[in-house]
């Protein structure tokens, strides 16, 4: 469905003024107004390095849907701005930054889902309108006014889901570590600048100089030797002046301290140096997928299924599932070992192996199970008759010659 920018804004319809709109109250009288605390954490290079592999791995999966029309939309072009990979990348990135990711489900005149838009909100609040739950979004730097969307048309993926019924808790826990890391970086930069400057005490041997003369000597020395244009690093004095340098040894964080701070950020996001630098072994990659990628895919699949196929459609076997290509987690050597140990012993067909692990098209006859000749069921009848060893023709000829003699 082709849309222009204005129609994208018009997706969010304002609520009628005649109906009463009031603040939504959760259980425990929780105030349902939420802000994006820590939105600047993405400016940190460490945080961005941690989020990037999470988003990249999450965006490489494919969507499998009971409705092939919807499957094509989600895989190819969920909305006018992004393809299927960008769609997943943005959802996962916003989830890691804000611990919440809202997806607006656009529907056509027949009520069928035809578009999926990650909502780029700045902050939001939950309101009650016509006995229903709506989320009112506010946008930073956008010409559009605040926009309210029905909860029924919003798919929500959350992390650290604890305090609120609507959203996950903010990333408050990591903020102090990021501030400490920023302070350590600034301290190192300041120490380098401090040691590069000439510092000391300028003493004049002239007796009883007037304050104006002392100040003039100081200003002239700073002007001539402590400015950025003096690249030689050498200062010259006459016999009436003495300069005593002051050595600067600023204290900075040690390598071990910096490493521990970085490791704390890595642990928070569930990554390590090997994942970030793409120097990961297959076993580590499998564990990373099971612990950090698969839970996200399960949550997104179930949320989209329940929101897209609501009402009567939920009674049928409708589903939206995101699944990874397992072949991405295996090396070529492991794929060949899998063929020899599974395919050749009837564990799967050759076409199944080609499609699942190699990404190749099936071929005629590849759906037939094959079995190695040295493999048989344990209850199969065995031939206990021992076969006589074949005789060498030369030995037979020698025997015949001996008989003739």
* 303 Cβ contact partners less than 8 Å away, ≥ 6 residues apart: 155, 156, 157
- Answer whether residue 157 shows pLDDT above 80: yes
Q: Work out how many domains the chain is built from and give that number.
A: 3
Q: What is the pLDDT of residue 328?
A: 67
Where does the pLDDT of residue 386 fall: very low under 50, low under 70, confident under 90, or very high at 90 and above? very low
pLDDT score for 241: 63
DSSP state of 386: P
Check whether 393 has a pLDDT greater than 60: no
In a domain, 279, yes or no: no
Give the least confident one: 175-184, 187-196, 304-313.
187-196
Measured from the Cβ of residue 4, the count of other Cβ atoms closer than 10 Å reads 9
* pLDDT at 240 > cutoff 90: no
Query: What is the model's pLDDT at position 138?
Result: 87
**12 and 97 belong to one structural domain:** yes
Kind of pairing, strands 200-204 and 154-158? unpaired
Cβ–Cβ under 8 Å, residues 277 and 124: no
Answer yes or no: do 22 and 162 share one domain. yes
Strands 62-65 and 113-118: unpaired
How does pLDDT run across 85-94, given as a tens digit for each residue?
999 999 999 9
DSSP string, 135-197: EEEE-TT-SSPPEEEEGGGEEEEESS--S-SSSPPPS-TTHHHHHHHHHHHHHHHHHHHHHTS
Co-location of 82 and 20 in the same domain: yes
Residue 231 lies in a domain: yes
Is residue 91 situated within a structural domain? yes
Nearest to 226 by CA among 250, 243, 211, 249: 243
238 belongs to a structural domain? yes
d(CA 136, CA 254): 47
Q: What pLDDT, in 10s, does the model give residues 249-262?
A: 656 667 788 888 89
- Which H or E element spans position 320? strand 320-323
- Same structural domain for residues 159 and 211? no
Is the domain of 42 the same as that of 146? Answer: yes
Percent of the chain at pLDDT > 70 equals 64
* pLDDT top residue among 377 and 131: 131
The answer on pLDDT for 8 being more than 50 is: no
Closest CA to 153 of 113, 122, 180, 195: 113
Quote the pTM value.
Answer: 0.70
Residue 50, Cβ neighbours under 10 Å: how many? 24
Is residue 197 pLDDT above 60, yes or no?
no
Q: Residue for token digits 């599932």?
A: 321
Residue 272 has pLDDT above 70, yes or no: yes
Are residues 124 and 213 located together in one domain of the fold? no
Q: Are residues 33 and 157 in the same domain?
A: yes
- DSSP letter, residue 82: B
Residues 239, 161 share a domain: no
The CA distance from 282 to 248, in Å, is 49
Terminal alpha carbon distance of the chain: 100
Residue with token string 């200062």: 235
Contact predicate 170/41, CB 8 Å: no
Q: Select from 170, 185, 208 the last residue of a domain.
A: 170
- Report pLDDT digits (tens) over 343-371: 888 888 888 888 777 777 888 888 888 87
pLDDT for the residue numbered 298: 95
Are 318 and 309 contacting, i.e. CB atoms less than 8 angstroms apart? yes
Q: ∠ at Cα 47 (42, 53), nearest 5°?
A: 110
Among 117, 152, 170, residue at a domain's last position: 170
* pLDDT at residue 2 in the model: 39
Residue 324 lies in a domain: no
Name the residue with higher pLDDT: 116 or 249. 116
C-alpha–C-alpha distance, residues 194 and 71, integer Å: 60
Tell me, yes or no, whether 89 lies in a domain: yes
Structure confidence at residue 52 as a pLDDT band (50, 70, 90): very high
Task: Encode 292-318: b = buried (16+ Cβ within 10 Å), e = exposed.
Answer: bbbebbebbbebbbebbbeeeeeeeee
For residue 230, give Cα distances in angstroms to 223, 239, 307.
9, 22, 68
Q: Tell me whether residue 349 is in a domain.
A: yes
The set of residues, in sequence order, having a beta carbon less than 8 Å from that of 372 and lying 6+ positions away, is 344, 345
User: Do 115 and 64 have their domain in common?
Assistant: yes
Confidence check: pLDDT of 270 > 80: yes
For residues 29 and 159, membership in a common domain is answered with yes
pLDDT at 206 over 90: no
Specify whether 55 is located in the same domain as 151: yes
**Do 57 and 135 belong to one domain?**
yes
Instruction: Write the DSSP symbol of residue 281.
Output: -
Q: Which residues, at least 6 apart from 129, have a Cβ–Cβ distance to it below 8 Å?
A: 15, 19, 20, 21, 148
* pLDDT at position 284: 85
Structure token pair of residue 33: 């107004």
Strands 100-107, 154-158: pairing kind = antiparallel
For strand 200-204 and strand 241-245, is the pairing parallel, antiparallel, or unpaired? antiparallel
Structural domain that includes position 76? 5-170
The lowest-confidence range among 14-18, 175-179, 363-367, 375-379 is: 14-18
């Amino acid at each position: 469905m082709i849309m222009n920018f204005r129609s994208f804004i018009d997706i969010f319809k304002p609520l009628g003024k005649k109906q009463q709109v009031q603040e939504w109250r959760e259980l425990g009288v929780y105030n349902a107004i939420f802000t994006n605390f820590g939105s600047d954490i993405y400016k940190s290079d460490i945080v961005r390095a941690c989020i990037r592999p999470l988003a990249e791995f999450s965006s490489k999966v494919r969507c499998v849907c009971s409705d092939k029309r919807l499957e094509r939309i989600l895989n190819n072009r969920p909305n006018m701005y992004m393809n299927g990979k960008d769609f997943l990348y943005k959802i996962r990135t916003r989830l890691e930054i804000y611990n919440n990711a809202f997806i607006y489900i656009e529907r056509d005149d027949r009520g069928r889902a035809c578009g999926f838009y990650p909502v780029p909100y700045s902050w939001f609040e939950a309101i009650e309108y016509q006995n229903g739950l709506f989320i009112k979004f506010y946008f930073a730097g956008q010409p559009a006014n605040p926009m309210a969307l029905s909860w029924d048309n919003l798919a929500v993926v959350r992390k650290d889901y604890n305090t609120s019924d609507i959203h996950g808790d903010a990333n408050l826990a990591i903020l102090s570590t990021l501030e400490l890391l920023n302070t350590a970086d600034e301290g190192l930069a300041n120490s380098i600048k401090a040691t590069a400057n000439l510092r000391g005490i300028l003493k004049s041997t002239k007796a009883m100089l007037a304050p104006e003369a002392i100040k003039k000597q100081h200003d002239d020395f700073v002007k001539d030797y402590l400015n950025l244009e003096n690249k030689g690093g050498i200062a010259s004095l006459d016999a009436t002046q003495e300069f005593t340098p002051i050595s600067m040894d600023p204290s900075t964080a040690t390598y071990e301290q910096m490493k521990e701070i970085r490791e704390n950020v890595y642990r928070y996001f569930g990554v390590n140096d090997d994942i970030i630098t793409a120097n990961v072994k297959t076993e580590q990659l499998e564990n990373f997928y099971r612990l950090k990628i698969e839970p996200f895919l399960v949550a997104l699949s179930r949320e989209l299924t329940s929101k897209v196929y609501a009402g009567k459609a939920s009674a049928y076997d409708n589903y939206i599932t995101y699944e990874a290509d397992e072949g991405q987690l295996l090396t070529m050597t492991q794929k060949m070992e899998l063929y020899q140990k599974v395919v050749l012993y009837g564990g799967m067909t050759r076409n199944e192996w080609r499609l699942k692990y190699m990404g190749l098209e099936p071929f005629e006859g590849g759906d037939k199970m094959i079995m190695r000749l040295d493999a048989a069921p344990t209850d199969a009848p065995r031939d206990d008759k021992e076969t006589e060893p074949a005789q060498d023709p030369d030995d037979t000829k020698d025997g015949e010659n001996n008989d003739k003699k």
